[in-house]
């Protein structure tokens, strides 16, 4: 095993990002590689893994620092890690998909100005459907308010923190149903559906911060959750396992979330089972983990540009597109490595200076 005792969490990041790639591969391959009878909505499951990991790491950091935990400093560091690359990706999405037609994508982000501004501020999920959704980047619209809410409630002891958040979550469900009844269409339901996954991550960090219990019980948990994941679909109906209308809270959207949640934690426990095998490749896993955020943000515009060049210069055949997908993935990973370096060496430092003026100005 590598020296990093949380190697499994790095493997979790890598698994999550490749589930997202798998879900988003269809426009580039020219055919649908997803096997819905086995697993539906792999992208949502990948993002669920990211949400659970974020909740775990935030709560663990707070537990370690105890009374020395500084919520303002912590939030500044988190936003510094999120926004610089995100803003670049947002700009590329608009240029690549709004102004240039791309096969397989809905490419209009009208009304552009409010859509861009809402995404720029991380407020997009609050304003759906008044603005368009820039696909993939909705995740940041959930993560930013999760971080802010976490930092606002850090002074609570964990039981009180959890109780407050559960009450808030129930209130959000009730408010959403009331707004629906009044015909007010605001707030993407994914905002509070996935918050439960984030909270479960914090619970794991509180109860098992060193992941000792999870490691010891991973095989048992994998077996139980695996059976649950397999039998979940027929129980609620395959056709209902999709988010459907993201504006309206329905039993279908709750069923979709429940399915994603079970698969998310099944894969989390499975990762602890298979980690000894992947620990033979620590350098590769660590490299992919360190660049996973840039890979998440930029994979779609990079794939789209790569395939546009291939199709214009060589061929649009499905066979060629399929054969070139691994090449496109390697190109994407290489570019994201340099984007990550640009972020750590230049962008984050400049953003930190700018954030200091905001957070600590008198």
Instruction: Report pLDDT digits (tens) over 287-304.
Output: 999 999 999 999 999 999
How far does CA 18 lie from the centroid of its chain?
A: 12
Long-range CB contact pairs, 77-80, < 8 A, 24+ = 78/147, 79/144, 79/147, 79/355, 80/348, 80/351, 80/352, 80/355
pLDDT, residue 314, reads 83
Q: Give the pLDDT score at 242.
A: 62
pLDDT of residue 99: 86
Q: What is the Rg, in whole angstroms, of the alpha carbon atoms belonging to the chain?
A: 21
Burial (0-12, 13-18, 19+ Cβ within 10 Å), 290:
middle
CA angle 69, 154, 17 (to 5 degrees): 90
Per the CB < 8 A criterion, the answer to whether 211 and 201 are in contact is no
Q: How far is Cα of residue 265 from the mean position of the Cα atoms in its chain? A: 14
How would you label 56-90 residue by residue, b for 16+ Cβ within 10 Å and e otherwise?
bebbbebeeeeeeeeeeebbbebbbbbbbbbebbb
Half-sphere exposure of 236 (CA within 13 A, CB side): 18
In whole angstroms, give the CA distance from residue 56 to residue 59. Answer: 5
Q: What is the pLDDT of residue 236?
A: 55
Tokens of 207: 């109860």
CA distance 212 to 215: 5
Q: Who's near 170: CB < 8 A, 6+ residues apart?
A: none
List Cα–Cα distances, 322 to 42, 169, 213, 302, 315, in angstroms: 19, 43, 42, 16, 12
What does the alpha-carbon distance between residue 8 and residue 275 come to, in Å, rounded to a whole number? 6
Choose among 218, 259, 304, 279: nearest CA to 26: 304
Residue 92 in tokens: 């590329």
Query: Mapping DSSP to helix (H, G, I), strand (E, B) and coil, where does residue 70 land?
Result: coil
- Give me the helix-helix angle, 282-290 and 318-342, nearest 10°: 80
CA-nearest of 7, 6, 60, 48 to 205 is 60
Three-class secondary structure of residue 2 per DSSP: coil
- List pLDDT tens digits, range 239-278: 555 666 688 888 888 888 888 899 999 999 999 999 999 9
Burial 22-42 (b: 16+ CB within 10 A, else e): bbbbebbbbeeebeeeebbbb
Instruction: Give this prediction's pTM.
Output: 0.93
DSSP string, 196-221: HHHHHHHHHHHH-TT-HHHHHTHHHH
Kind and range of the H or E run holding 225:
helix 218-236
Successive 10-residue mean pLDDT values, the chain, 362 residues: 71 96 90 78 91 95 86 86 95 91 69 95 91 91 95 91 95 92 90 94 95 95 90 61 74 84 93 95 96 97 91 84 94 97 90 72 50
pLDDT value of position 360: 61
Q: Is the Cβ–Cβ distance between 291 and 334 less than 8 Å?
A: no
């Amino acid at each position: 095993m590598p020296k990093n005792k949380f190697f499994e969490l790095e493997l979790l990041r890598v698994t999550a990002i490749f589930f997202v790639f798998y879900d988003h591969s269809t426009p580039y391959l020219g055919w649908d590689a997803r096997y819905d009878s086995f697993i539906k909505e792999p992208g949502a499951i990948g993002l669920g893994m990211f949400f659970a990991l974020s909740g775990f790491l935030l709560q663990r950091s707070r537990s370690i620092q105890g009374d020395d935990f500084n919520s303002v400093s912590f939030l500044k560091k988190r936003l510094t890690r999120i926004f610089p690359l995100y803003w670049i990706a947002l700009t590329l999405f608009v240029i690549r998909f709004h102004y240039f037609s791309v096969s397989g994508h809905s490419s209009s982000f009208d009304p552009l100005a409010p859509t861009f501004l809402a995404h720029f501020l991380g407020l997009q999920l609050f304003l759906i459907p008044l603005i368009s959704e820039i696909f993939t980047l909705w995740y940041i619209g959930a993560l930013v308010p999760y971080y802010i809410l976490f930092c606002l409630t850090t002074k609570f002891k964990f039981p009180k923190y959890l109780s407050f958040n559960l009450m808030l979550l129930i209130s959000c469900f009730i408010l959403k149903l009331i707004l629906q009844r009044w015909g007010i269409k605001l707030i993407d339901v994914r905002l509070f559906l996935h918050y439960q996954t984030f909270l479960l991550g914090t619970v794991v960090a509180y109860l098992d911060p060193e992941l000792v219990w999870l490691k010891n019980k991973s095989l048992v948990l994998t077996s139980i959750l695996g059976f649950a994941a397999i039998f979940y679909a027929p129980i609620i109906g395959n056709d209902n396992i999709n988010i459907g209308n993201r504006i309206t809270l329905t039993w279908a959207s709750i069923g979709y979330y429940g399915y994603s949640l079970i698969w998310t934690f099944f894969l989390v426990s499975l990762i602890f089972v298979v980690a000894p095998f992947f620990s033979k490749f620590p350098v590769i896993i660590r490299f992919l983990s360190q660049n996973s955020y840039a890979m998440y943000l930029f994979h779609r515009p990079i794939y789209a540009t790569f395939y546009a060049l291939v199709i214009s210069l060589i061929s649009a055949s499905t066979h060629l597109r399929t054969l070139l997908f691994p090449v496109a993935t390697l190109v994407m990973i290489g570019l994201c490595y340099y984007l990550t370096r640009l972020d750590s060496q230049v962008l984050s430092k400049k953003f930190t200076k700018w954030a200091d003026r905001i957070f600590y100005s008198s």
